Chain A
Amino acid sequence: MLALQLLVDGVLLGGTYVLIAQSLNLIFGVMGVVNLAHGSFIVMAGLFTAWFTATTAASPLLVLPIVLLVGFGVGAVLQPLLLERLVRHGRRAELLSLMVTFGLDYVLVELALQIFGSNYVSVPYLQSTFTVGGVTVSKALLVAGLSGAALAALLHIGLNRTPLGKALLAASQSATGAVSCGIDVGRMRLVAFALGVGLASAAGVLLVLVIPMAAESADSLTILAFVIIALGGLGNYVGVAVAALLLGIAQSVVGFYFGGDAENVLPFVLLIGFMAARPQRFRRAA
């Protein structure tokens, strides 16, 4: 029974991780942009959700589609303003995007501090549990985990089954090849970034239901997303989903037997091991 409880807890935790990672996977995969501001979009959405639900007593799930669309819009504005113009710098574009998003992260975190303050917040939503076959399930974690996994699944289906999605995948695999097929690669970069920010914002709405969040949480979320992508393989959406779930399970087991610090350090230990053994997992297609 304990093993089953650890598995369920880990899978649900991993479900929240899937969306955090896939949204960055899309941006990194298609654009080659190392988006160091990824966590700050998550946190902005989470803090907004906490404020909105406290002020209006509305359900955070009602906020989810709104935040996703607003995030999409913000991404659609920021991409041409800050990132698209870097493309003409060729090989230096990746390094430049690193610097630009580093600065953007600082700006967004400071904005979050000014608007929402520096306190940790959480949303007391669905504060009940149910038991199935001796396994206790938190409703908040269940909703957050399943919703995150569902959105990530929709992303995967969209990428593989829709013309727009296939164009995004083509642009991520080979910009030159995509152009020769008549795909507007510039537009694909815009869509990828906007969609990535929208999904990151949705991840923030779900995450604040299960853990306390503050403006300063941004960096650790960005790092977590990069670790999961590294484990799952850049551009490999199935791989990243599996990695997120496995990481959630591994953290659940390690945290239970070895405590909080071991749980915290596990992603980085795995990252070092994988990068040493399979560094090609973190290369984009040329």
Chain B
Amino acid sequence: MNSPILRALALFAVVLAPVFASPAEGADAPIVIGATISETGPLTVDAGYQIKGMQLAIEAANKQGGWLGRKLELKLYDDKSDPGTAVRLYTRLITDDRVNLVVGPYSSGITQAVAPLINKYRFATIEPGASLPDIYVAGNKWNFQGTASSLQYLDELLPIAQQHGAKTVAVLGLKSAYSLACYKARLEQAQKLGMQVVYQTTYSLPQPDFGAIALAVKNAHPAVVIGCTYYPDAVGLTQALHDQGFAPQFLAETIGPVEAAFGKAVGKLGNGIVSNTSWWYNYKTPGNAEFIADYKAMFHEDPDYHAATGYSALTVLGAAVTATKSLDQEKLREWLLHNQVQTLIGVFKVNADGLSTGFTQHMVQIQNGTIRLITPPDLAEAKLLVPYPGS
């Protein structure tokens, strides 16, 4: 090969060959599972737990020899809490990285953006971070809900509040996919129960200051304040309500209060806040005790329900792969549609749209700096403290 052009072309081919080569397949090649996660951005606190749950599940599976005799490998990208970025990254995972399987991202908003892509490429995908039911009834046939519906968030609160004599409600909602669904569901529930909605508003992040909203809430004198939130606005609203000197009989926020960081951010203001969870330490679900111990050993912190849903997503996917003895997406999809899987957070089962019919949400409350499970009665760790003290 004397020609410099031929030598250059040969060198070019050698350098670029790996780019065009298919990922290694075969009995020894790892099964690569792709996902994005919000390592940065407003969703990072909650998303961080989800990915740790997934990492723990991968570790646990690999200790047992993996799936189909092959080790598992997680390929992750940071979607920066941005739907557009997540769509680009899932495209990359599927078309460039050629992953074998995918798991959904954190949050309904990002999942909603990614779902049509999943549909297009026909990947049977468990969605651990997407509580919004709309995703699954919009013709996205390849997405399977891996968590309880956002319509259930805090749905146990208003009937209980009514039993305590509460008659008025204020509902606040962050303008994101899941929280708007939760916001509308709580408004409808209040009206069905005959409770008066005295104030309602939505807002977007970043919200520089919640003072005006908190003053409007105070001015309306609701007995119950429900915030359909993520972590940053849960902190902001809690502080702002206190700054206005207002403590409703019941203060509830959906996402945020169960995170350890929330307690550090708001201090004693968190005491008495009600929230929701789809998993708890004392659930009598298979492998729950081992999950808690292994999570603490691996990450040196307590898990939360986002970690449990991340872990459960891999449990379900693993069950499907093992049962079908295959990575074929059609076979996996069919199996997921017609089978149930016991997970940490309850029973995975879906209807024909892929919407969960098995997972549920329950209430928790921060009491003296510790989060206590309040419902269901047979698992409750403490009684609901009323009223919210505000300090």
A260 and B207: CB pair below 8 A? yes
A220 / chain B contacts, CB cutoff of 8 Å: 206, 208
Tell me, rounded to whole Å, the shortest Cβ–Cβ distance linking A122 to chain B. 5
- In the complex, what distance in Å separates the CA atom of A254 from the CA atom of B219? 15
Query: Is the interface on chain B under 10, 10 to 19, 20 to 34, or 35 or more residues?
Result: 35 or more
Is the CB of A128 closer than 8 A to any CB of chain B?
A: yes
B236 and A118: CB pair below 8 A? no
Of the stretches A73-81, A134-142, A164-172, the one at the interface is: A134-142
Q: Write the A140-163 contact mask toward B (1 if CB under 8 angstroms, else 0).
A: 110000000000000000000000
Tell me, rounded to whole Å, the shortest Cβ–Cβ distance linking A136 to chain B. 4
Tell me, rounded to whole Å, the shortest Cβ–Cβ distance linking A126 to chain B. 10
- In the complex, what distance in Å separates the CA atom of A264 from the CA atom of B219? 21
A254 / chain B contacts, CB cutoff of 8 Å: 212
A9 and B212: CB pair below 8 A? yes
Tell me, rounded to whole Å, the shortest Cβ–Cβ distance linking A141 to chain B. 6
B236 and A211: CB pair below 8 A? yes
Per the 8 Å Cβ criterion, residues 197-219 of A in contact with B are 210-212, 214-217
Q: Name B's interface SS.
A: helix
- In the complex, what distance in Å separates the CA atom of A252 from the CA atom of B209? 9
Is the CB of A59 closer than 8 A to any CB of chain B?
A: no
Is the CB of B283 closer than 8 A to any CB of chain A?
A: no
Is the CB of B239 closer than 8 A to any CB of chain A?
A: yes
B209 and A251: CB pair below 8 A? yes
Per the 8 Å Cβ criterion, residues 241-275 of B in contact with A are 242-245, 261, 264-269
Per the 8 Å Cβ criterion, residues 182-209 of B in contact with A are 201-204, 206-209
A124 and B41: CB pair below 8 A? no
B209 and A210: CB pair below 8 A? yes
B42 / chain A contacts, CB cutoff of 8 Å: 120, 214, 216
A256 and B216: CB pair below 8 A? yes
A260 and B201: CB pair below 8 A? yes
B245 and A118: CB pair below 8 A? no
| Shortest Cβ distance from B44 into A: residue | A118
- In the complex, what distance in Å separates the CA atom of A72 from the CA atom of B264? 30
B212 and A256: CB pair below 8 A? yes
Tell me, rounded to whole Å, the shortest Cβ–Cβ distance linking B254 to chain A. 16
B266 / chain A contacts, CB cutoff of 8 Å: 122, 124
B359 / chain A contacts, CB cutoff of 8 Å: none
B245 / chain A contacts, CB cutoff of 8 Å: 129, 131, 136
- In the complex, what distance in Å separates the CA atom of A214 from the CA atom of B230? 14
B215, B231, B268 interface centre (most CB from chain A within 10 Å): B215
Tell me, rounded to whole Å, the shortest Cβ–Cβ distance linking A239 to chain B. 21
Tell me, rounded to whole Å, the shortest Cβ–Cβ distance linking B241 to chain A. 11
A2 / chain B contacts, CB cutoff of 8 Å: 215, 219
| Shortest Cβ distance from A140 into B: residue | B243
| Shortest Cβ distance from B41 into A: residue | A216
A263 / chain B contacts, CB cutoff of 8 Å: 207-209, 212
A119 and B44: CB pair below 8 A? yes
- In the complex, what distance in Å separates the CA atom of A252 from the CA atom of B219? 14
Tell me, rounded to whole Å, the shortest Cβ–Cβ distance linking B232 to chain A. 4
A9 and B208: CB pair below 8 A? no
Tell me, rounded to whole Å, the shortest Cβ–Cβ distance linking A191 to chain B. 30
- In the complex, what distance in Å separates the CA atom of A261 from the CA atom of B42? 17
Tell me, rounded to whole Å, the shortest Cβ–Cβ distance linking B253 to chain A. 13
B40 and A113: CB pair below 8 A? yes
B39 and A261: CB pair below 8 A? no
Tell me, rounded to whole Å, the shortest Cβ–Cβ distance linking A210 to chain B. 7
Is the CB of B211 closer than 8 A to any CB of chain A?
A: yes
A257 / chain B contacts, CB cutoff of 8 Å: 216
B235 / chain A contacts, CB cutoff of 8 Å: 120, 122, 212
Partner of B215, one of A9, A117, A121, A122: A9
| Shortest Cβ distance from B40 into A: residue | A118
- In the complex, what distance in Å separates the CA atom of A96 from the CA atom of B207? 32
A13-B209, A259-B203 known; A127 vs B45 contact (CB < 8 Å): no
Tell me, rounded to whole Å, the shortest Cβ–Cβ distance linking A89 to chain B. 34
Is the CB of A5 closer than 8 A to any CB of chain B?
A: yes
Is the CB of B122 closer than 8 A to any CB of chain A?
A: no
| Shortest Cβ distance from B39 into A: residue | A118
Tell me, rounded to whole Å, the shortest Cβ–Cβ distance linking A267 to chain B. 9
Q: Write the B264-302 contact mask toward A (1 if CB under 8 angstroms, else 0).
A: 111111000000000000000000000000000000000
A255 and B212: CB pair below 8 A? yes
Is the CB of A54 closer than 8 A to any CB of chain B?
A: yes
- In the complex, what distance in Å separates the CA atom of A54 from the CA atom of B212? 28
B232 and A120: CB pair below 8 A? yes
A124 and B201: CB pair below 8 A? no
A140 / chain B contacts, CB cutoff of 8 Å: 243
Is the CB of B321 closer than 8 A to any CB of chain A?
A: no
Is the CB of A224 closer than 8 A to any CB of chain B?
A: yes
Is the CB of A6 closer than 8 A to any CB of chain B?
A: yes
Is the CB of B54 closer than 8 A to any CB of chain A?
A: no
B215 / chain A contacts, CB cutoff of 8 Å: 2, 5-6, 9, 252, 256
- In the complex, what distance in Å separates the CA atom of A255 from the CA atom of B199? 13
A13-B211, A121-B265, A136-B244 known; A212 vs B203 contact (CB < 8 Å): no
8 new A-B pairs (CB below 8 Å) besides A9-B212, A211-B208, A260-B212?
A: A113-B40, A122-B235, A124-B269, A138-B242, A140-B243, A254-B212, A255-B209, A259-B213
CB pairs A–B below 8 angstroms (19 shown):
A6-B215, A118-B39, A124-B264, A124-B266, A124-B269, A127-B269, A136-B243, A136-B244, A136-B245, A138-B244, A140-B243, A210-B243, A211-B236, A212-B235, A212-B236, A216-B42, A216-B206, A220-B208, A224-B208
